Amino acid sequence: MGSVMDRPGFADLAGRIVLVTGASTGIGAAVARGFAACGARVAVHYNRSAAEADTVVATIAERGGEAWVEQADLASPAQAAALVDRVARRAGGLDVLVNNAGDLMWRGAVADADAELLQRLLDVNFASLVAACRAALPHFRARGRGVVINTTSIAARNGGGPGVVLYGAFKGAVSTLTRGLAKEWARENIRVNAVAPGTIATPLHDRLTPPETMRAIVATIPMQRAGTPEDCVGAYLFLASEQCSGYITGQVIEVNGGQLMP
């Protein structure tokens, strides 16, 4: 992970209070480690993966960083809002909110999705993100600035891969919300951007994407490989850094190995 000096372009992140949701594994874990490497104070959120979240925090601590775990079930927007408030109270404020938590949950045809599944997909991938943003606003106002970075997806632009149309639809809503909030909050010195990962090798794909489907997807990527969580980290740090992106808001950075070039 290295020290702050290993990432001189992001030195202004030192001391910033950062909440990363869905940070026990995959992209969120890598992003949490990346912020800590820059000297940020990082709240590592998890839902069920307590041991994995503890490992992320332990790794950060071993390398001289500061992090702690926070649990919440983001199938509940109320818990999402409470999580943000809890982190701000514990740390004495909030500077950066990374809304990374999300889940494919299921692969299947839209016609086969029942109302319960639809509601859970909505809550986890969109409603809780909205709740977290709303809860962060007063904490940003108290500091006179703030940064929101949402994790959307390549699926927001291409309609999703086989059996994940609903996931793609809600990620499309995340991208639209990102642009809309950027307009609403710009005058309050709050920047809102998003990162759209493509096909990234994470536990989510291990759980829900058959190997043959993954091979077929990778074959469409010009760089001829799936991405890694670490491939995504720089985009989040860039968007959080005022010195690197202080005049950037309402944007979605695509990280997909050339799979989609909008």
* CA nearest to 93, candidates 174, 17, 34, 176: 17
Q: Looking at residues 65-82, what average pLDDT do you find?
A: 98
- Is 260 contained in some domain? no
CATH of the domain at 75: 3.40.50.720
- Is 21 contained in some domain? yes
- Is 103 contained in some domain? yes
Catalytic residue among 46, 167, 236, 247: 167
Residue 144 CA to residue 160 CA, distance in Å, equals 38
Q: What is the pLDDT of residues 174-222, one digit of tens each?
A: 999 999 999 999 999 999 999 999 999 987 777 767 888 889 889 999 9
- Is 257 contained in some domain? no
Q: What is the pLDDT of residues 105-144, one digit of tens each?
A: 888 999 999 999 999 999 999 999 999 999 999 999 999 9
Count of domains observed in the chain = 1
* Residue 162: pLDDT band with limits 50, 70, 90: confident
Terminal Cα-to-Cα distance of the chain (whole angstroms): 32
- The whole domain housing 244 covers 4-251
Summary mean pLDDT of the chain = 94
DSSP assignment of 67-134 equals EEEEE--TTSHHHHHHHHHHHHHHHT--SEEEE--------S-GGG--HHHHHHHHIIIIIHHHHHHH
CA atoms within 13 A on the CB side of 191: 21
- Is 167 an active-site residue? yes
